[in-house]
Amino acid sequence: MKLSLCIAVYNEEKNLHYPLDSAIDIADEVIIVDGGSTDRTIEVAKSYGKKIRIINSDNPVMFHKNKQKAIEAAQGEWILQLDADEVLSENLKKEIKSIVWRQTSAVEERSGKNAEVNQLVAYNLPRKNWFLTGFLMKGGQYPDYTIRLYKNGFAKFPCKDVHENVEIIQKSKVKSEDNNETMKQLNNGTIGFLKNPILHYADPDFSRYLARWDRYTTAEVERMPKDMKLNFFSYFVWKPKMTFLMMYFRHKGFMDGFPGFVFALFSSIRFWVIYIKWRTKKLT
C-alpha cells in the first residue's frame, strides 16, 4: 500500500466531496475520523466505495486530536493529510504521484544522483485560501505552506495549537533508561517543497468564516491556564493594531480588495474575543 489519504471531519456533508473527488483515485485507502457528525457526512463518505475506512470519535475542541487518530490508523507507506474543504489541483496530483510512486534504480542510489530526494520524508505544500469571493493572494496568506505529505511513522500532531503543523520526527536507535525507543525531531533538511497548491475552500461565505473564527478563538482560550495573565492593553490595542498594519499594509492585503480588508480586520480583532473568552473562563 503506497498512499493513505487521511481526513478528520465533523458535519462536512457539503464539503467532503472536495478532497475525495480530487484525491481518491491516487490513494490506496482513505481514513476518515468522524467527530460524531449529525448530518449526512458518513453517508457521503461511504458512497465513495471500498477504499473508505471510517473511525468514529468524539469532537474535541483541539480537533488535531482526530487528525492524529487518522494518521495513526493509516497503513500506507506515505500519508496525504487533507481537510474536508481542500482540493488537490491537477498539477499537484502529478507532483504527489511522482514522489509516492518514484522508482529509483540501484545504480542511481549508489551514485548519489538521487541522494537528496531519497532522504526527504515530508513535503510542504503551498495552499490557496478562498475567502468570500476569491483566493487571498496577499496579506501573508499565500503561499501558506503546510506539511501535508509525509512518510508513515515520521509525523505527529503536538495538539497544542489550533494552527499547528505536524512535527516531523524519527525513531532514535539510542535506547532511553526505561529501554523504550526515544523520538527526536528531524531537521529541515528532510523536508521538501512542492510547487503546485492545495485549493482551500475554507470560507465561501461569511457565516462559515464566523463559525470557524469562533471555534478557533475558543480553542486558543481552552489551552490557556486559568491562572495565566493577559494584558488588557496588549490584547485590545497593541496586538490588533500591529496585526492589521502588518497584514493590510506591509503584506499588501489591500490588493485583495474588500475580502482582504475584512480578513485583516477580523484577524486583528480576534484578540478582543480571545481576551473576553479568557476573562469569562477565569471568572467561572
Looking at residue 170, its pLDDT comes to: 65
Domain boundaries, the chain: 3-203, 206-283
Q: How far apart are CA 60 and CA 122, in angstroms?
A: 27
* pTM: predicted TM-score of the whole model, two decimal places: 0.82
pLDDT given at position 41: 96
| Grid cell for residue 241 | 493594531
CATH of 3-203, one of 1.20.120, 3.90.550, 1.10.3470, 1.10.1660: 3.90.550
Q: What is the pLDDT of residues 10-62, one digit of tens each?
A: 999 999 999 999 999 999 999 999 999 999 999 999 999 999 999 999 988 78
The pLDDT tens digits for 237-273 are 999 999 999 999 999 999 999 999 999 999 999 999 9
Q: How much is the pLDDT for 106?
A: 35
- Give me 89's grid cell: 489541483
Q: Which three cell numbers stand for residue 35?
A: 467527530
Structure confidence at residue 140 (pLDDT): 94
Q: Which residues pair with 213 in a beta bridge?
A: none
Contacts of residue 116, defined as CB under 8 A and 6 or more positions apart, other chains included, come to none
pLDDT at residue 210, rounded to an integer? 96
The DSSP code sequence of the chain is: --EEEEEEESS-TTTTHHHHHHHTTT-SEEEEEE---SSSHHHHHHTT-TTEEEEE----SSTHHHHHHHHHH--SSEEEE--TTEEE-HHHHHHHHHHHT----HHHHHHTTTHHHHT--EEEE-EEEEETTEEE-STT-SS--EEEEEETTSEE---S-TTPPPEEEEEEEEE-TTSPEEEEEPPGGGEEE-SSPEEEEEESSHHHHHHHHHHHHHHHHHTS-TT----HHIIIIIHHHHHHIIIIIIT-GGGGHHHHHHHHHHHHHHHHHHHHHHHHHHH-
Share of the chain above pLDDT 70, in %: 87
Residue among 101, 80, 108, 70 at smallest CA distance from 23: 80
